[in-house]
């Protein structure tokens, strides 16, 4: 049951600091500029994934909804970043409170106590906090894909704030804090397959079903309005994912490069698998399908980046793309409107990755060890699904009561851009 060694050392050290209440500052631990500069870069790369996601989703919706959709991602950058500094980091990486439901550390409130702290991993704690905060930003932005084109802006802002506090922070704490119970169980989630993708996917599914389909769906065709923007977004996501996965090694060395290699391999494998399946099944390989394959591979390798070798990443990418392709076909049959496939790609891809990695871990393992790990992974995935789905459902009810969540008929027909932002995304349509 291998977990990132540097991460466990790092997190144990943080726990010790929290327990002793002392702030050692730069005494004793020197900053390693190599690791720090990579972590700074990773932080920037992961943040760049959010505008990338905005472009990916924005290009997939109709022209009258492009700004509303991009605002879903950008607003997360504002709201979640502020929440993270105030209480998010403390709730996610502080010591257990309330039976381990989430964490707390008064030094992490407003990041007041870490102004000069250097972690055992030889990076300033600021950069670790900022790096993790980017994950907290992108997760709710992923959910937005499920209810695209039909949600009120104010309701959305309130929803993601509550979701971040009550769903993301606890999940992050359980899986990545050293006293988190899933971490203690030995669950492997290298960069957030469960914490980010499964949680966002399942929450999106619940929201899509609760809010109901878009007006006119499925009889009215609603094709993407700007696939060129979608492809640019897909490219930014692929590159940004190197920060997402390789940066999760919290080091700049062997593990980092193992994660980067696995990430690259899985993305490519996912892409060409989807391209092949779609080409054979539908007769034509679409650009959107290629981009979806990229994402499916990346999502699946996210929990596994540090624990699989390239051959394992090839398998993860190919299998995830296959399952996600099937999931999207099923979506059409089952009839729910997960508009931008938040569950189809992130939910399914995350589940595939979390479970399949047990058979692909580097090193020699007995069948007993593998199946034991599979049991742990299944439990972690199951707990994440039940918790995220249940709390999301409650939050949807609450937000609906407070501000309303589903767009009104008039707002939906006019488009989110006009209704909630008073703007027009594509000014070029105006002659002058």
Partner 1 sequence: MAGVPNNHHKRIKLKCMKLITAIIRETKLDQVREALIENEITRITVIRVSGHGQQLNEDIYRGKKVVPNLIPKVKLEIAVNDSFVDITVNTIIANARTNSTGEVGDGKIWITPIEECIRIRTGEKGGTAI
Burial 160-187 (b: 16+ CB within 10 A, else e): bbbbbbbbbbbbbbbbbbbbbbbbebeb
Find the part of the chain contacting partner 1 (CB under 8 A) among 194-202, 279-287, 312-320, 406-414: 406-414
Find the part of the chain contacting partner 1 (CB under 8 A) among 181-189, 258-266, 395-403, 424-432: 424-432
* Closest distance to partner 1 from the beta carbon of 216 (Å): 8
Instruction: Assess 219 for contact with partner 1 (CB under 8 A).
Output: no
Instruction: Assess 413 for contact with partner 1 (CB under 8 A).
Output: yes
Find the part of the chain contacting partner 1 (CB under 8 A) among 120-128, 142-150, 202-210, 411-419: 411-419
Give me the phi and psi of 103, to 5 degrees please.
Answer: -110, 175
Find the part of the chain contacting partner 1 (CB under 8 A) among 3-11, 91-99, 135-143, 408-416: 408-416
Q: How far apart are CA 347 and CA 204, in angstroms?
A: 9
Instruction: Assess 410 for contact with partner 1 (CB under 8 A).
Output: yes
Find the part of the chain contacting partner 1 (CB under 8 A) among 46-54, 152-160, 228-236, 412-420: 412-420
Residue 337's region, left for phi above 0, alpha for psi from -120 to 50, else beta, is beta
Q: Which of 88, 113, 344, 415 binds partner 1 (CB under 8 A)?
A: 415
Q: How far apart are CA 180 and CA 372, in angstroms?
A: 19
Task: Decide whether 261 or 424 has the Cβ nearer to partner 1.
Answer: 424
Q: How far apart are CA 234 and CA 190, in angstroms?
A: 22
Instruction: Assess 293 for contact with partner 1 (CB under 8 A).
Output: no
**What are the residues whose beta carbons fall under 8 Å from the beta carbon of 286, sequence distance 6 or more?**
278
* Closest distance to partner 1 from the beta carbon of 204 (Å): 25
Q: How far apart are CA 138 and CA 196, in angstroms?
A: 8
Bridge partners of 96, per DSSP, are 103
How many residues sit in the footprint of partner 1 (CB under 8 A)?
Answer: 11
Task: Decide whether 367 or 431 has the Cβ nearer to partner 1.
Answer: 431
Interface positions, 63-122, toward partner 1 (CB under 8 A)? 64
* Closest distance to partner 1 from the beta carbon of 412 (Å): 8
Task: Decide whether 98 or 431 has the Cβ nearer to partner 1.
Answer: 431
| Nearest C-alpha neighbor of 154 from the set 375, 339, 421 | 421
Sign of CA dihedral 295, 301, 306, 310: negative
Instruction: Assess 280 for contact with partner 1 (CB under 8 A).
Output: no
Q: How far apart are CA 186 and CA 388, in angstroms?
A: 20
Q: What is the largest CA-CA distance in the chain?
A: 69
**DSSP state at residue 22:** -
Q: Which of 261, 286, 378, 414 binds partner 1 (CB under 8 A)?
A: 414
- Cβ atoms of 420 and 152 within 8 Å: the answer is yes
Q: Given 3-state DSSP classes, what are the helix, strand and coil percentages for the chain, each rounded to the nearest 5? A: 75, 5, 25
Sign of CA dihedral 4, 250, 203, 52: negative
Instruction: Assess 364 for contact with partner 1 (CB under 8 A).
Output: no
* Closest distance to partner 1 from the beta carbon of 214 (Å): 11
Q: Which of 213, 287, 418, 421 binds partner 1 (CB under 8 A)?
A: 418
Site pattern 55..74 for partner 1 (x: CB under 8 A): ---------x----------
CA angle 267, 128, 392 (to 5 degrees): 65
Instruction: Assess 429 for contact with partner 1 (CB under 8 A).
Output: yes
Q: What is the token pair recorded at 168? A: 């993301």
Task: Decide whether 7 or 150 has the Cβ nearer to partner 1.
Answer: 150
- Cβ atoms of 230 and 56 within 8 Å: the answer is yes
Residues that bind partner 1 (CB under 8 A): 64, 410, 413-415, 418, 424, 429-432
């Amino acid at each position: 049951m291998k977990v990132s060694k540097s991460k466990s050392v790092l997190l144990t050290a943080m726990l010790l600091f929290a327990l002793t209440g002392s702030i050692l500052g730069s005494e004793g631990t020197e900053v390693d500029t190599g690791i720090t500069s990579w972590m700074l870069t990773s932080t920037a790369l992961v943040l760049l994934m959010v505008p990338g996601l905005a472009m990916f989703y924005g290009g997939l919706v109709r022209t009258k909804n492009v700004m509303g959709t991009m605002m879903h991602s950008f607003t997360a950058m504002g709201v979640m970043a502020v929440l993270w500094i105030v209480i998010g980091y403390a709730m996610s990486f502080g010591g257990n409170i309330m039976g381990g439901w989430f964490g707390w550390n008064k030094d992490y409130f407003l990041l007041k106590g870490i102004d000069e702290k250097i972690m055992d991993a030889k990076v300033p704690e600021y950069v670790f906090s900022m790096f993790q905060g980017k994950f907290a930003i992108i997760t709710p932005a992923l959910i937005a894909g499920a209810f695209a084109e039909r949600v009120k802006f104010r309701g959305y802002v309130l929803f993601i704030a509550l979701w971040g506090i009550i769903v993301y922070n606890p999940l992050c704490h359980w899986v990545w804090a050293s006293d988190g119970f899933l971490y203690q169980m030995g669950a492997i989630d290298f960069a957030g397959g469960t914490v980010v993708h499964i949680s966002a996917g399942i929450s999106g599914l619940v929201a899509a079903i609760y809010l109901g389909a878009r007006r006119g769906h499925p009889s009215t065709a609603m094709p993407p309005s700007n696939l060129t923007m979608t492809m640019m977004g897909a490219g930014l996501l692929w590159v940004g994912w190197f920060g997402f996965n390789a940066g999760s090694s919290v080091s700049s060395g062997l593990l980092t490069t193992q994660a980067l290699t696995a990430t690259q391999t899985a993305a490519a494998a996912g892409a060409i698998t989807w391209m092949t399946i779609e080409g054979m099944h539908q007769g034509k390989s679409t650009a959107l399908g290629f981009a979806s394959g990229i994402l499916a591979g990346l999502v699946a390798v996210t929990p596994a980046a540090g624990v699989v070798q390239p051959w394992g990443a090839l398998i993860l990418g190919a299998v995830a793309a296959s399952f996600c392709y099937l999931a999207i076909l099923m979506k059409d049959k089952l009839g729910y409107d997960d508009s931008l496939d938040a569950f189809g790609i992130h939910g399914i891809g995350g589940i595939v990755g979390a479970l399949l990695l047990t058979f692909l871990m580097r090193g020699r393992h007995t069948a007993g060890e593998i199946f034991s790990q599979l049991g742990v992974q299944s439990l972690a995935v199951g707990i994440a699904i039940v918790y995220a789905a249940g709390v999301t459902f409650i939050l949807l009810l609450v937000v609906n009561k407070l501000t309303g969540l589903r767009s009104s008929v008039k707002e939906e027909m006019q488009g989110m851009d006009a209704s909630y932002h008073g703007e027009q995304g594509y000014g070029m349509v105006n002659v002058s």
